[in-house]
């Protein structure tokens, strides 16, 4: 299982990449995509929407399930990865390349794990 | 198989209509569409053979055992079809004067009378077209009731996590907030969790009893009392009434409003997904809010009447009338004794099949079940890699319709079987043999089960591809 | 006791022994004794012969009119014999929703064909497998358009009253505001719509032809709606749709309608068929079942229920609709009807309806005291003013085995279909002449 060291992780299996002082990219981890199976659609928020720690900002659909995606940060959606709307399989193929949203004006971070802690957390879950 | 459009030949047609016997009037060009719709051009032979070919690729109740849990796939009596096809019913316009449709109104009134007695309700509407539509209607009644009393703070509907998906969806559609409460392992309501959940914001509880694990909730009187004492109302999801018709009435259990699936319990056919009828019965406290156009008997004359504080309409006209005709036939044939017997035999058949299967696999709950039961194949999957899906798909090769898969959500690798009362002991013995054989095979030839079915017109479809790249209509060359 | 239970007395005993209980009642020990086995005070069951006679007696109490000039949401069209033959096949009749695709290809393919035909009729990109009826389709379409920012629903007052009621009931349930756009001269008032539209409006619903039978200027209404950033929903009559500008050509985002004219008998109001189609931008918001094309592992083309993650059984309280059962057999009825008619038959039906309605209107309006209430062109329904109260005229017609038009606010709403012969029309006009001159 792939867990890049430069990212931070939420216990609901989202990753966060800090891209600046108050900006970050958010995506789903390899563990998450593996558990969810083949994804067939992603419902993303709109640019300008606000997101908050612990609240759902998107959901992903597999054939027989839908799963909420929770925000690790509080801030404003600066961009969405619209490519995913036509090709949700990118999350299965390249979970750390297929970011979901970029957030700006971040005012708060949730309780995040580093790669080592997240690795341990996933092993426990398995 | 070819699509009907792929059989089309330009210029071919059926001769159905006479020439115009009045002066032809031309529709002004400005209103007219650019090109006619691309519909197939076929002879009657083409059409007949096309649908006969399609029919051969469908498994209906009349093709074989259909133990689809929660769907009550009982036999659909031939008499019902014949009666629903009578010209006196099919030929009447819904807006004819009342004195010219007394027969139709009598059907609705008579069906209401019987179903009220079966459910312990005081009044009934047939406007809802299906179970979920009935839920919407029932919840609107609950909402109107609280509002009329000035009790606007009641915004929450309590739904156990073992409930049908329509329950929470209906509550959302009617503007309520859903409070999910966890069920016990037997799918029954956890009384402590319920007590903790109710309060001054409780509008009501939605419950199906027997529950989705096929168990009758022993605490039902206590459950409905808790909700009533908190000021809420109790909604009965009638999807599982087939276990208790004539044996126990929702009204006596403490429910205030109920929907019935006439297309399940009362033997009307499903038609590949509908039309159904989701008749809603209510206690008199909800009568002032019923959907409009309710039939009332005035002396020996039937007429429509609007309830004084009606919620309005959930559909045009009066509901799926011909479905009600079928259900009425069924109820008249069975009568009180027959209805009770049907339920008892539905329960006996389920318990008998369960007993035959118990040596071969794990049942989600031990003891006596109601009209359906749930198998859990979690252990089988761990041991052999064979999933509930694989087992279900293998049944197709034996000519059996699979049970409901992966429901209720609180049971892992679930298969829910509902044999219904119209299946014979021989069929149940055969089905048990088939399932036992498949479970045996899971240990010896798991690969074969992963690849099932092999005898059907097509194999397992690629559902991921279907959803990722939706092709929802045929496309024609320009 | 009538029964459909096959088990004999001996088999029942044997099964009870296997289960380990001594009687059927013993299966119900979980039911509290105080509510177990109530006396329902119902009659006991009867034989098939007796029930057949009783139900036939009820059917005979209905009156079937020799000729019908009433529409208003339910239309007396000719139903080709093949339609009933096909749709009464037991495989189609007795199957459940096609969850198991491998043994449901017949139903799935027929729905896929139905979806295609509805798209062709409306000019839209995607259709669902049907909803309960046209009124419910309208209410569901309005729900598709609502979001956090735009929630108000505008409805043309020239819509069928029961459709308006249904949209209002659904909206009130969802705590969403809904407002009627007034009609002027029998059609939607463009100026009122312009004034009402605002940036919190989700959509505008209109009916084509409208309740008064008039052909609305749908394009102009659609342009106004889009200029305000709202969605444009058209409710269309499917027979008229074969000849009139398609909802797509009029700029609609969603097209819905009552499918009853497509081969369903009048049946005192149901079962009917709600059809729904939309543009590709909106198809993920469609409620209910949708069938899609795919392939099996061997590469064979096949069909499945798809996009299911929209639906209640997966999304539960977050689903935008609760619909589960629909009107599948009615959708198949519509498909067989459209296949039998073909493009030429559909257009001929529409032309007959239009011509006969215009002939009838001309004949009625030639009578003293009768005139068209509204000036705009109409399809197969129209309203006339009458020199004497409508009820008096309708009573005379009824005595002559004719179901006349529907009494409405400004006169009588008449309807013709291809089934109304010149002879019937001429008889109707002669009777009106006589009744009005008394």
Q: Which residues contact B313 (CB under 8 A, 6 or more apart)?
A: B127, B291, B292, B293, C135, C162, C165, C166, C169
Neighbours of chain C (3+ CB pairs under 8 A): A, B
Map C244-259 to HEC letters: ECCCCCCCCCEEEEEC
**What does CATH list as the number for B337-464?**
3.90.1150.10
pTM over 0.95: yes
Interface of B with A (CB under 8 A): 406, 463-464, 467-468
Residue in chain C lying closest to B245 (CA): C37
Q: Using CB atoms, pick whichever of B406, B463, B468 lies closest to residue A88.
A: B468
Task: Select the more confidently predicted residue: A93 or C319.
Answer: A93
- B166–C93: do the CB atoms touch at under 8 Å? no
Per-residue model confidence (pLDDT) at position C320: 85
Chain A: closest CA distance from residue B298 (Å): 52
pLDDT at B477 over 90: no
When scoring B387, B407, B464, B469 by the number of chain A Cβ atoms within 10 A, the one with the most, hence best to mutate, is B464
Two domains, one topology: B79-334 and B337-464: no
For chain B, give the percent of residues with pLDDT over 70. Answer: 100
Q: What is the pLDDT of residue B156?
A: 98
> For B117-156, what is each residue's pLDDT tens digit?
999 999 999 999 999 999 999 999 999 999 999 999 999 9
Q: What is the pLDDT of residue B186?
A: 84
Kindly give the confidence (pLDDT) of every residue in chain C, 438 residues in length, as a single tens digit, with 9 standing for 90 and above: 789 999 999 999 999 999 999 999 999 999 999 999 999 999 999 999 999 999 999 999 999 999 999 999 999 999 999 999 999 999 999 999 999 999 999 999 999 999 999 999 999 999 999 999 999 999 999 999 999 899 999 999 999 999 999 999 999 999 999 999 999 999 999 999 999 999 999 999 999 999 999 999 999 999 999 999 999 999 999 999 999 999 999 999 999 999 999 999 999 999 999 999 999 999 999 999 999 999 999 999 999 999 998 888 888 888 889 999 999 999 999 999 999 999 999 999 999 999 999 999 999 999 999 999 999 999 999 999 999 999 999 999 999 999 999 999 999 999 999 999 999 999 999 999 999 986
Each domain of chain C, given as residue ranges in start order, spans: 67-77+347-437, 81-336
Name the 3-class secondary structure at C267.
helix
CA angle C79/C83/C85 to nearest 5° reads 125
So where are chain B's domains?
Answer: 4-57, 79-334, 337-464
- What is the interface pTM, i.e. ipTM, of the complex? 0.98
CATH (residue range B79-334):
3.40.640.10
- The 3-state secondary structure of chain B reads CCCHHHHCCCCCCCCCCCCCCCCCCCCCHHHECCCCCCCCCCCHHHHHHHHHHHHCCCCCHHHCCCCECCCCCCCCCHHHHHHHCCHHHHCCCCCCCHHHEHHHHHHHHHHHHHHHHHHCCCEEECCCCCHHHHHHHHHHHHHHHHHHCCCCCCCEEEEECCCCCHHHHHHHHCCCEEEEECECCCCCECHHHHHHHCCCCEEEEEECCCCCCCCCCCCHHHHHHHHHHCCCEEEEEHHHHHHCCCCCCHHHHCCCEEECCCCCCCCCCCCCCCCCCCCEEECHHHHHHCCCCEEEEECCEEEEECCCCCCCCCCCCCCCHHHHHHHHHHHHHHHHHHHHHHHHHHHHHHHHHHHHHCCCCCECCCCCCCCCEEEECHHHHHHHCCCHHHHHHHHHCCCCCCCEECCCCCCCCEEEECCCCCCCHHHHHHHHHHHHHHHHHHHHCHHHHHCCCCCCCCCCECHHHHHHCCCCCCCCCC
Counting one residue from A and one from C, how many pairs have CB atoms under 8 Å apart? Answer: 17
State whether C315 and A40 contact (CB < 8 Å): no
Architecture of the domain defined by C81-336: 3-Layer(aba) Sandwich (3.40)
- pLDDT for position B329: 98
Question: B463 and A63: CB-CB below 8 Å?
Answer: yes
Mean pLDDT of the B458-467 span: 96
| CB-CB under 8 Å, A41 with C314 | no
pLDDT one-digit tens code per residue, B8-32: 999 999 999 999 999 999 999 999 9
Is A88 part of the contact surface with chain B (CB cutoff 8 Å)?
Answer: yes
Which residue segments constitute the domains of chain A, with CATH numbers given?
A: 12-108 (2.40.50.100)
Mean pLDDT of the residues in chain B: 96
d(CA B135, CA B336): 26
Chain B positions touching C332 (Cβ under 8 A) are: 271-272
Burial of C23 (0-12, 13-18, 19+ CB in 10 A): exposed
Q: Do the chains contact at A40 and B464, CB–CB below 8 Å? A: yes
Taking 70 as the threshold, does the pLDDT of residue B478 lie above it? no
Which tens digits make up the pLDDT trace of B262-312?
999 999 999 999 999 999 999 999 999 999 999 999 999 999 999 999 999
Q: pLDDT tens digit string along B212-223? A: 999 999 999 999
Residues of C with CB below 8 A from B317's CB? 73-74, 133, 162, 268-270, 272
User: Is A38 an interface residue toward B (CB < 8 Å)?
Assistant: yes
What pLDDT is attached to residue C317? 87
Q: Does domain C67-77+347-437 have CATH number 3.40.50.300?
A: no
Query: Would the CB atoms of A61 and C284 count as touching at under 8 Å?
Result: no
Query: Over the stretch B157-168, which tens digit does the pLDDT of each residue have?
Result: 999 988 888 999
- Which of B37-46, B311-320, B409-418 is the least confident region? B409-418
CB contact under 8 A, C121 and B325: no
- Give the gap in angstroms from C-alpha A75 to the nearest C-alpha of chain C: 19
Question: Which of the pair, B374 or B187, is modelled with greater confidence?
Answer: B374
């Amino acid at each position: 299982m792939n867990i890049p060291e430069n990212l931070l992780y939420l216990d609901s299996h989202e990753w966060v990449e800090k891209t600046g002082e108050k900006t970050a990219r958010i995506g789903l981890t390899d563990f998450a995509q593996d558990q969810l199976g083949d994804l067939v659609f992603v419902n993303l928020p709109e640019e300008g929407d606000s997101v908050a720690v612990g609240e759902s900002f998107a959901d992903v659909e597999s054939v027989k399930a839908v799963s909420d995606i929770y925000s690790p940060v509080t801030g404003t959606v600066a961009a969405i990865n619209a490519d995913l709307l036509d090709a949700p399989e990118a999350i299965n193929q390249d979970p750390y390349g297929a970011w979901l949203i970029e957030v700006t004006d971040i005012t708060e971070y949730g309780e995040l794990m580093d790669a080592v802690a997240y690795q341990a957390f996933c092993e426990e879950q398995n | 198989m070819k699509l009907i459009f792929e059989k089309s030949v330009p210029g071919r047609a059926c001769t159905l209509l006479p020439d115009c016997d009045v002066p032809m009037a031309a529709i002004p060009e400005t209103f007219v569409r650019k090109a006619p719709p691309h519909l197939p051009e076929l002879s009657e032979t083409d059409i007949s053979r096309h649908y006969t070919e399609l029919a051969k690729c469908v498994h209906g109740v009349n093709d074989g055992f259909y133990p689809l849990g929660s769907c009550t796939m009982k036999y659909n009596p031939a008499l019902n079809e014949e009666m629903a096809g009578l010209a006196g019913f099919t030929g009447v316009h819904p807006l004819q004067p009342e004195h010219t449709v007394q027969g139709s109104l009598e059907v609705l009134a008579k069906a209401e009378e019987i179903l009220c007695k079966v459910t312990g309700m005081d009044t009934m509407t047939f406007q809802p077209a299906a179970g979920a539509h009935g839920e919407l209607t029932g919840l609107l009644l609950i909402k109107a009731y609280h509002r009329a009393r000035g009790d606007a703070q009641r915004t929450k509907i309590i739904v156990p996590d073992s409930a049908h998906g329509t329950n929470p969806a209906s509550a959302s559609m009617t503007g309520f907030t859903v409070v999910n409460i966890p069920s016990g392992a037997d799918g029954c309501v956890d009384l402590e969790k319920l007590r903790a959940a109710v309060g001054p914001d409780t509008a009501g509880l939605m419950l199906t009893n027997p529950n989705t694990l096929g168990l009758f909730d022993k605490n039902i009187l206590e459950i409905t009392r808790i909700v009533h004492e908190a000021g809420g109302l109790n909604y009965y999801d009638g999807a599982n009434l087939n276990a208790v018709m004539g044996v126990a009435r929702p009204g006596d259990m403490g429910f205030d409003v109920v929907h019935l699936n006439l297309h399940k319990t009362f033997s009307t056919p499903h038609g590949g997904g509908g039309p159904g009828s989701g008749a809603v019965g209510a206690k008199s406290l909800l009568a002032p809010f019923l959907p409009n156009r309710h039939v009332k008997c005035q002396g020996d004359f039937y007429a429509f009447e609007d309830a004084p504080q009606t919620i309005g309409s959930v559909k045009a006209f009066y509901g799926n009338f011909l479905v009600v005709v079928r259900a009425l036939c069924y109820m008249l044939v069975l009568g009180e004794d027959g209805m009770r017997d049907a339920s008892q035999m539905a329960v006996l058949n389920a318990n008998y099949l369960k007993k035959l299967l118990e040596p071969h696999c794990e049942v989600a709950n031990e003891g006596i079940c109601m009209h359906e039961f749930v198998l859990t194949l979690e252990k089988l999957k761990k041991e052999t890699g064979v999933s509930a899906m694989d087992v279900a798909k293998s049944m197709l090769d034996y000519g059996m319709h699979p049970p409901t898969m992966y429901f209720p959500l609180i049971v892992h690798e679930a298969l829910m079987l509902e044999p219904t009362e119209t299946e014979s002991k021989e069929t149940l013995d055969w089905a048990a043999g088939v399932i036992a054989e498949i479970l045996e095979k899971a240990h010896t030839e798991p690969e074969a089960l992963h690849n099932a079915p092999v005898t059907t017109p097509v194999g397992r479809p690629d559902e991921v591809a279907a959803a990722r790249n939706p092709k929802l209509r045929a496309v024609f060359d320009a | 006791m009538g029964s459909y239970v096959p088990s004999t007395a001996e088999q029942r005993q044997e099964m009870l022994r296997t289960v380990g209980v001594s009687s059927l009642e013993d299966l119900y020990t979980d039911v509290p004794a105080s509510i177990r086995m109530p006396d329902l005070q119902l009659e006991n069951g009867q034989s098939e012969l007796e029930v057949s006679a009783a139900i036939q007696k009820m059917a005979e109490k209905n009156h079937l009119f020799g000729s019908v000039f009433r529409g208003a949401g339910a239309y007396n069209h000719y139903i080709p014999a093949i339609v009933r033959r096909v749709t009464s096949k037991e495989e189609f009749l007795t199957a459940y929703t096609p969850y198991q695709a491998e043994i449901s290809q017949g139903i799935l393919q027929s729905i896929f064909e139905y979806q295609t035909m509805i798209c062709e009729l409306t000019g839209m990109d995607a259709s669902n497998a049907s909803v309960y009826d046209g009124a419910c389709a309208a209410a569901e379409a309005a729900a598709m358009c609502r979001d956090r920012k735009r929630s108000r629903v505008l409805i043309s007052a020239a819509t069928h009253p029961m459709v308006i009621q249904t949209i209002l009931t659904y909206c009130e349930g969802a705590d969403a505001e809904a407002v009627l756009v007034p009609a002027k001269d029998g059609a939607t008032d463009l100026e009122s719509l312009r004034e009402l539209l605002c940036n919190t409006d989700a959509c505008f619903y209109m009916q084509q032809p409208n309740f008064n039978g008039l052909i609305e200027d749908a394009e102009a209404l659609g342009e106004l709606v889009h200029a305000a950033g709202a969605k444009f929903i058209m409710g269309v009559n499917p027979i008229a749709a074969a000849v009139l500008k398609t909802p797509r050509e009029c700029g609609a985002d969603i097209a819905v309608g009552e499918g009853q004219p497509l081969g369903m008998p009048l049946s005192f109001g149901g079962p009917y068929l709600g059809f729904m189609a939309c543009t590709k931008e909106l198809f993920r918001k469609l409620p209910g079942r949708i069938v899609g094309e795919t392939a099996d592992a061997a590469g064979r083309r096949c069909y499945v229920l798809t996009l299911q993650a929209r639906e209640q059984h997966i999304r539960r309280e977050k689903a935008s609709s609760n619909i589960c059962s629909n009107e599948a057999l009615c959708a198949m009825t519509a498909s067989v009807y459209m296949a039998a008619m073909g493009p030429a038959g559909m257009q001929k039906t529409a032309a007959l309806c239009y011509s006969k309605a215009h002939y009838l209107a001309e004949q009625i309006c030639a009578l003293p005291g009768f005139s068209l209430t509204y000036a705009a062109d109409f399809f197969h329904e129209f309203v006339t003013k009458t020199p004497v109260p409508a009820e008096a005229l309708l009573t005379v017609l009824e005595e002559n085995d004719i179901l006349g038009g529907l009494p409405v606010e400004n006169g009588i709403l008449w309807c013709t279909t291809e089934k109304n012969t010149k002879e019937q029309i001429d008889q109707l006009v002669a009777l009106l002449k006589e009744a009005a001159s008394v």
